[in-house]
Amino acid sequence: MSRGRLALPALLAGACGIGLAPILVRLAGLEAVGPAAAAFWRLALALPFLAAWSRLQAAPPPSRLDAFLLVLAGLFFAADLAFWHESIARTRVANATLLAALASALAALASWALFRDRLRVLVAAGLALAIGGAALLMRGSAGTRHLAGDLLGVLAAVFYAAYLLSVGRLRARCSTAAVMAWSGLGATLGLLAAVGIARERLLPATPAGWTWVAALALLSQLGGQTLIAYALAHLSMAFSAVSLLLQPLVAAGMAWALFGEALGPWQLAGGLLILSGIAAARIGDLPKP
pLDDT, one tens digit per residue, over 34-49 is 999 999 999 999 999 8
DSSP class per residue in the chain: --HHHHHHHHHHHHHHHHHTHHHHHHHHHTTT--HHHHHHHHHHHHHHHHHHHHHH-SSPPPPHHHHHHHHHHHHHHHHHHHHHHHHHHHS-HHHHHHHHHHHHHHHHHHHHHHH-----HHHHHHHHHHHHHHHHHTTTT--GGGHHHHHHHHHHHHHHHHHHHHHHHHTTTS-HHHHHHHHHHHHHHHHHHHHHHHT---S-SSHHHHHHHHHIIIIIIIIIIHHHHHHTTTS-HHHHHHHTTHHHHHHHHHHHHHH-----HHHHHHHHHHHHHHHHHHHHHSPP-
Render the burial of 71-80: b for 16+ CB within 10 Å, e for the rest.
Answer: bbbbbbbbbb
Domain that holds residue 137: 3-285
pLDDT tier for residue 83 given thresholds of 50, 70 and 90 = very high
pLDDT of residue 39: 93
Are 161 and 27 within 8 A, CB to CB?
A: no
User: For the chain, how many structural domains are there in total?
Assistant: 1
What confidence tens digit (pLDDT) does each residue in 203-248 have?
998 889 899 999 999 998 888 878 887 887 777 766 777 777 778 8
Residue 1 has pLDDT above 50, yes or no: no
- Per-residue pLDDT tens over the stretch 18-75: 889 999 999 888 777 899 999 999 999 999 988 888 888 767 888 999 999 999 999 9
